[in-house]
A and B are shown apart, each in its own frame.
Chain A
Amino acid sequence: MSKITIDELMKIKEQALKLKAEKKAVLMLCAGSSCSKRDGLKIKAIVEEELKARGILDTVLVGINGCSGLCEHGPILQIYPEGYFYEKVKPDYIPEIIEEHVIKGNIVEKYMYNDPTTKKPIPKIEDIPTYKLQSKRVLQNRTKIDPTSIDDYIAQDGYRGAIEAITNKSPMDVIGIIKDAALRGRGGSGFPTGTKWEIAAYSVPPANLNGSKYVICNAGAISRAIMEIDPHSIIEGMIIAGYAIGAHTGYIYIREPEHKSLIQLMEKALKGATKYGLLGKNILNTTFSFNIELFIGAGTFICGEETALIASIEGKRGYPTPKPPYPATRGLWNCPTVVDNGETFANVPQIILKGAQWFKTLGTDDSSGTKLFTLTGPLQFNGLVEVPFGVSLKSMVYDISGGLRKGSKLKAVQIGGPTGAFLPPSSIEMPLTYGDIKQHESIVGSSGIIVLDQNTCIVNAVRLAMTFGVAESCGKCVPCRIGTTLMLGKLTDITEGKATENDMQILEDIAIEVKRTSLCGFGRTIVLPLLSAMKHFKEEFYAHIHDKWCKAGVCKTLSTFTIDGQSCKGCTSCARKCPVSAISGERKKPHSINQSLCIRCRTCYETCTFNAIKIGHAAWYDPSLASAQTSKEENQ
């Protein structure tokens, strides 16, 4: 196809909009991975058949959209122009929905989502409380477009930012706007994107490589979520970055080869953009040429570190290299390279189109714009959310996620994914900005917020985080490689009741040294879970060490389960669930646990609705020693 012009692009937009406007209704099915698994796409075929049987297939458009985020309520069927949606759609709902809603125009309330508190149906996704509190920028096209269709993206003003940049602005103008907007890298460290681009733009590649520069999209978890919803936003951002720094090649680095469907989706998106001449030689009949290739990695967390990622693209072991030189001056094949997170790129087109001032209307002075987080834990709502910077952690946990589930009490929050710090409930007022998160000695990292309740043992959680550290440490530098193993050993000792108080000091010393001397960000942050837990949850460590008592009952060697005779109603539910039949007792009379049979699996504790199961310190431990220890401390 010949090079696309701006007029042609506007024509595509009009056509795509007209196509939808002409139809009586547009039915969109969620094609996110969770809905697809619940036969979401089978339902699409059923819908089409039903429409055909009624002879109205020509007046209705049936399409798909990327993950709407309501995975627990899937499959989701949306009906436009109103934008109403039905949850947990089953094949036998279809005839009624089509008859009532599409043909007669009456909504079918019984298949709609009900508000958990008011029990009233909520017809639109954006009216669900959790969505009302979110802002829509990077995810502006969530639930609106088919991720496999470039026309849908163009209809939502897609690629207008890239065209504006390439045809009306000089590269330095583009960098200036990004700098004005104070966009910071969403990948975790929060380096100002405009500055990074500026350095790359002014850097000169080695003479023998003839002016090569590169743009790399580091596709972590959040970027992949964006790709599933709106892949072209990332491609457009990369085109603008390529134009700004003068690069001709871009790579999208997907770490895990397992994401086959995502890889196919991206391949299709890249093909679509190339077909329209938005990628390739002489884009929009200018002298600017830009191509994007997909690069599929082979696992490993460390390849999210930019220098390790570059080594991986060069076909080497994914080892990080010391910085400086930064990739912006000497990156892939020693050429200036901009490595940014997909979320950063997805922000760029809108900044170019709507201006730096618009971008700064959300967020704080320190951190402008919005940020995507993934919420996990015993919450009403789990999943991907977009909020302006500056929203407090409290509002994240209690409002946006709908609060904790019944019976769960907030114990700690881990911010920043697997290498983030554990924060106590007292830090909950903290606003989520780069500065504040850093002040609380955590990282934005992979943007995960994990909420932990009273059923979690912090020591064990730290131990698991350290197991992750041991497994994912690349092994290049000594502090991280050996330090993580040593720390894991000590932590395992604590959870098994073999540690002494001295070990706490040793742990802290190692952690500080690993943080200080590690080569890359991984080593510097892998100790954060440990250091933060030792600071905020010190008593829990000491309960393990001195009292040999895991109060959450997670560490098997440090807990004993007993039944409180007064609370036990003799409902027998624990006895029925016990995998080793250690619980005995008559109906309606207090039960008891045979300690020699008990494997401390916690099943009875989780089953009991009367709080009759008590967790005590390890049975093998003589508590008089502990009291001696405590009195000794008191004396001091």
Chain B
Amino acid sequence: MEGKVLVVDDDSYVIESCGKVLVPEGFLVRAVTDGHEAMEIFFCDTYDVVFINYEKIHNDGSNLVRWLHRKYPDTCVVAVVDTNHEFVKTEGILDYLTKPFSLEILLQTTKRAFYLSKQFAPSIKKEIKTAQYVDKLGELAIIVNKYKGKPAMLLEVLRQAQALIGYLPEEVQKIISKGLKIPVSEIHSVVSFYPSFTMKPRGRHHIKVCMGPACIAKKAETLLKNLTAGLNLQDSDITEDMRFSYEKVFCVGACSDAPVMEIDDDSHTRVEVDKVDEILKAYN
């Protein structure tokens, strides 16, 4: 048996599709129509994942969520919401499933939620439940699981985690700490040491301007000036629309091709300092 799923919904479509998709995958599925019933069931048996229709529940869905969060922190709650519904991230809800959904998405969401319920200690879960990147946590769990108990793979895990989420906030480091069995202080020390890792969010495109001696000799300072002026940046290192962020780096090791500017995975070598704007146009 993979795990136990409880569906709290009066929509027969949701209940039927859960049964159709999840039972063959080895999940035990049980469905109830209101919150009271759900609570009663929880007195006899606990469930790993709870799908809950956030609006239609008679007993005010948020009550049940709060109750589960308090009493059964290991249970992962997924809210089933309608399209275009502007949901507010509520404490206790770890993931969302938007109706109508395809059967694959249902299965994916369930597996992700199942990972989350099994992987993380309640204390971490409480913090991450409200985080911005909550929808990426399932994939993160898969990465961490792959390298479970291998502390030597820390750099690899951190790199993949950053590629997934874009940066490495404290909560993510705690998740990795748990999976790899390394104290979180040590993880923080590694994250803060290597310049490739960042704890600050980055723009959609991240620009690195090399400030090595060879690049300086080839007018990297003018390049930087043109860049910040072109992006209308004063003191901040990220544009308001989150399109670009930039940082100065020291010697990327391409001295023969100075000056060098790197945007995401592309490195722009021998940049003509007056034509920075044209390079940026290609990135949206």
Contacts and interface: CB of A to CB of B under 8 A. Distances in A.
Contacts of B186: 316
B257 A316 contact: no
Interface stretch (A111-119, A188-196, A256-264, A360-368): A256-264
A380 to B, nearest CB: 14
Contact of B214 (A72, A376, A474): A376
A377 interface: yes
Interface string B248-280: 011111111110001001011110000000000
B155 A299 contact: no
A383 B254 CA distance: 9
Contacts of A316: 154, 186, 190
A320 to B, nearest CB: 12
Interface stretch (A138-146, A173-181, A465-473, A586-594): A465-473
Interface string A246-258: 0000000001111
Given A296-B159, A418-B213, A464-B213, A471 B250 contact: yes
Interface stretch (B35-43, B107-115, B194-202, B236-244): B194-202
B228 to A, nearest CB: 15
A13 B262 CA distance: 39
B19 interface: no
Contact of B255 (A297, A318, A376, A461): A376
A68 interface: no
Given A258-B265, A317-B190, A414-B213, A298 B218 contact: no
A318 to B, nearest CB: 6
Interface in B196-233: 196-197, 208, 211-214, 216-218
Contacts of A90: none
Nearest to A529: B213
B151 interface: yes
A296 B265 CA distance: 15
Contact of B268 (A37, A318, A456): A37
Contacts of B214: 376-377, 448, 450
A33 B213 contact: no
A71 interface: yes
Interface of A: 33-34, 37, 71-72, 220-221, 224-225, 255-260, 296-301, 312-318, 374-377, 382-384, 414, 417-418, 446, 448, 450, 452, 456, 461, 464-465, 467-468, 471-472, 474
23 contacts: A220-B253, A221-B253, A221-B255, A257-B159, A258-B267, A259-B267, A297-B194, A298-B155, A298-B158, A298-B194, A314-B152, A315-B152, A315-B190, A316-B154, A318-B193, A375-B256, A383-B257, A384-B256, A448-B255, A450-B217, A464-B211, A467-B250, A471-B250
Given A299-B196, A374-B255, 18 more contacts: A33-B269, A72-B270, A224-B253, A255-B253, A256-B196, A258-B265, A298-B195, A301-B251, A318-B193, A375-B256, A377-B214, A377-B217, A414-B213, A418-B250, A450-B214, A467-B250, A468-B213, A471-B250
